[in-house]
Amino acid sequence: MIDFPEFQNIRKVAARERIPFSCTGCANCCKNVRDSILLNPLDVFRLVKHFREQGSVQPPEEILEDLADLKELSRGFYIYVLKTINDGGVCRLLKSGRCTVYDSRPSTCRLYPFSPDFKVDGTAQWNLCLEQPHHFEGGCVTAREWKRRYLKKEDIHFFQEEAKRLPLIGKLLHDVPDTRLQEAEIWMLTFYYYTYSYDEPFLPQYKDNMAFLTARLKELQNE
């Protein structure tokens, strides 16, 4: 397991706190991002859809293999993290100083320099990343405004569902007997990330997948 650098060098902020901030488009926040850009299933759904619209016929797991590495977040729970290139940890999707998946970029990127911890009721604790001090001058922004600007209803419902479902999934994975762990990991990856129809809305599929995964992990406890 690894320490994710995105959890360091942040401070909590109130949603209405006014933060001096102005983006110059320097793309520094797309560099030195090794193990920083975690991909949730909605991020992956949008990225896979993006590459399919560009003509890719690869299954999602192959598209992901090109884009991201799997990292173990907790016992049996693997999460995709965007790949970086060279010693500078430059995001693999940055080309000539531009994001090549801008409209489908992960939520971490869309919300930067803020990041939310959503709760089941849809409220969030907001954090501010302090790693790039040069952009904290000029304009004035709030996390509340960022939420309105960069999160769709689908994102917020998804974050609420994650807050509701992931603690139980984490506990079930923690309690899976060693002899069934590998099987549990495969179920987890399959239903968390891969089993979607890209012509259908994401959220109902995610809910069905997570309900199925929860039931399957419960069965594994007793087999």
Name the residues that contact ligand SF4, by CB under 6 A. 23-30, 33, 37, 91, 93-94, 99, 101, 105-106, 109, 112, 132, 135
**Nearest approach, Cβ of 26 to ligand SF4 (angstroms)?**
4
State which residue, 105 or 184, has the beta carbon closest to ligand SF4: 105
**Nearest approach, Cβ of 67 to ligand SF4 (angstroms)?**
9
Strand partners, 19: 141
Q: Is the dihedral of CA 25, 27, 28, 30 positive or negative?
A: positive
State which residue, 146 or 192, has the beta carbon closest to ligand SF4: 146
Cα-based distances in Å from 102 to 88, 206, 209, 215:
21, 23, 27, 36
State which residue, 106 or 116, has the beta carbon closest to ligand SF4: 106
Give the number of other Cβ atoms within 10 Å of residue 105's Cβ: 22
Distance CA 179, CA 192 (A): 21
Asked if 82 and 92 count as a contact pair (C-beta separation under 8 A), the reply is yes
**Nearest approach, Cβ of 23 to ligand SF4 (angstroms)?**
3
Asked if 183 and 177 count as a contact pair (C-beta separation under 8 A), the reply is no
**Nearest approach, Cβ of 28 to ligand SF4 (angstroms)?**
4
**Nearest approach, Cβ of 18 to ligand SF4 (angstroms)?**
17
State which residue, 30 or 169, has the beta carbon closest to ligand SF4: 30
Distance CA 158, CA 163 (A): 9
Distance CA 115, CA 99 (A): 19
**Nearest approach, Cβ of 131 to ligand SF4 (angstroms)?**
8
Please tell me what DSSP assigns to residue 147.
Answer: H
State which residue, 134 or 148, has the beta carbon closest to ligand SF4: 134
Beta strands in the chain (DSSP E): 10-13, 19-20, 38-39, 68-74, 77-82, 84-85, 90-91, 94-95, 98-99, 114-118, 124-129, 140-141
State which residue, 96 or 222, has the beta carbon closest to ligand SF4: 96
